[in-house]
Structure 1
Amino acid sequence: MSRRRPSHPASAHELLGRLGRLTAQALEHVEMQRARVELAMALQRELLPAALPSLPGLRTAARYAPARHGLDIGGDWYDGFRLPDGTLGLTIGDVQGHDVEAAVFMGQVRIGLRALATAASDPGEVLSRTNELLLSLSDGLFATCCYLRFDPATRELSAARAGHVPAIWATADGRSGVEDVEEAEEVGLPLGIEPGEEYPVTRRRLTGTEAVVLVTDGVVEGPSFPLDEGLDQVLRRVRAGVGTEPGELAARVIEVADLTGHSDDAAVLVICHDEP
C-alpha cells in the first residue's frame, strides 16, 4: 500500500516569484492600455480642428468633452470648412465605440465628408456618397452624422441627418424648437449600415439673429435623464443664449452632459447668425 507524500506549502521564495510574475504581467497590460489611450487621444487631438471658419454674419464655435470611462476617448467629432463655391460646410457626428479603431474611423468619416462635399452641393447627396464610401472600407463600424451647408448669398441653411440627434434652434424674437425626432422621413440611417440609403434635406432661410445648435448623444442622454429631457435642457440654454458669443453658448450647452451623468464623449457645434 503506497502512501501519498504530504504536500508542502509553497515557500515564501516561490510565492514572491509568482507575485513578481503576476505583477510584471499586470504592468505590461497597464502599459499597453496606457499606450492605446495616448495613441487614441493623440488621434483625437489631431483630427479635431483647432478652429472653425466663419463668414460675414455667421459665427461658429464647438466644444468637446471626453468620455469618463473606458479608454477616455471616443469617436465624436465636429468640423467646418469653406467650399470652392463660397459656401460653408459644417458637420458633427458620433462613431460607434470608444477605442483607437473608433478614433481612426472618425478620421475616415471626417476626411471623406470633406472631400465629397466639394463634389456635391446637396447635403443629402454628400451623406449618400459618404455612406457608400464607408461601406466599401468594410470596417464594420457605423456613425451618426449631421451635415449642414450655409450659402451666404441666399442665407439658406440646408441640412441632412444620418441617424443623428436633431438640431435645436432659437431666434431673438422668441421662436425656438427642436427638429421632430419622430418623423422618420427627415432622417436616414446611420452611415455605414445600409447601401443605397437616401438622406432627405431640410432647408431654412436665416433672416434675423438666430442660434442653431447641434450635439452628440453624450450631451443629451445618460443615466440621469432620457433624450427628451436632455434636449429640453439644451433648448433652455439656447433660448437664453441667443445673441451671445458662440463660444460662450457652446460652453453653456456642453454643461448639460454633466447633468445627464454621461459616460460617453460629447460634442457641441454652435452656429450663430446675426441680423443682416
Structure 2
Amino acid sequence: MSVHLPDASWPPVPEPLPHPVVDNHCHLDHRIRGGHRIDVADALDLAASVGVARIVQVGCDLPSSAWAVATAEAHPAVVAAVALHPNETPALSAAGQLDDALAEIDRLAAHPQVRAVGETGLDYFRTGVEGRDAQHRSFREHIAIAKRHDRALVIHDRDAHDDVLAVLDDEGLPERTVLHCFSGDADFARACVERGAYLSFAGTVTFKNAPDLRDALKGTPLDRILVETDAPFLTPMPHRGRPNASYLVPITLRYMAETRSVDLGDLCRAVEENTDRAFGGPWPRHGADAV
C-alpha cells in the first residue's frame, strides 16, 4: 500500500487505531486552497493505514452526488450519499429547477452503491429568512426519498435545531437517521436520540470553544455515536486551519475516548458497529493490511 502526503501543508499521519472505523461523512471531491486535493486512491490508502478502512462520500448538489456514486462504483470501500445541500435549494427554487433536481436525487438514490440521502436539512447561518421555504420543502422531499429507497437520512443542521426537530416530527423519521457534524448541546442530543437518531461527531468536538458539544458527547449513549471528518473541513486540533482528510479520524476518536473516559478500542468497535447499523450493513474495508 502506497502511503504518502501530497505536500507539507497536510497534517502528519497519526498513530493507528486499535480497531477499524468508518469516516461516515467525507467530501473527497472538494478541493482545498490552491485547487489541491488528495487523490481518492491515496486518501483511501492513508486512511486505511491508520484504521479508517471505509468512507461515506457525501454529495451536496447534482454534480457531487453523481461523483459520489461513480466513486463508490470504482472503490468498494466507499459508499455514496446523495442530496441537495440546504444552501443549494433557494437558488434552484428561484430558477424553477428544484423539482427536476429533486427528481434526479430520487433517481440516484436508487443506485445500489448509495447508502444514504444527504446531506439535507436546514441551514439558517448562510441562508436568510427568504430562503427558508425552499429549504423546508427540499428537506421534506429528501425525507420522503430516504423512506422510499430505504436509505439512511443524513441531516445538516446549522442554527436550526428546533425547526429540524419540528420537520422530523411532522414527517416522521426514516428507519435510520444521522445528525451529521452534530452541533447541539446535551438537551438537543437527548431529543435527537429519543427520536432514534445517531449523532456523528467531527473535529469540532476538539475545539476549545465547544464545551456544550463535549457535554453532548458525554451524555450520548454509546450505541448512538458515530465519527466523521467532513473533510476537507473541520480539521481537529491541534491542526485546525489545515486541510482535513479521513486519515485524521484517529485524532478525533482519541479525544472522544478521553472525553468520555472510555477505552479507545471499545469506542472504535462501537463506532464501527453503529455505522454499519446506521448505513444499512457493512461493506468492504480498504487495503489488505488495514487493521
TM-score by length of 1: 0.31
Higher relative contact order (CA 8 A, sep 6+): 2
- Report the structure number with the largest CA radius of gyration: 1
Greater share of strand residues, 1 or 2? 1
**TM-score, normalisation: structure 2:** 0.30
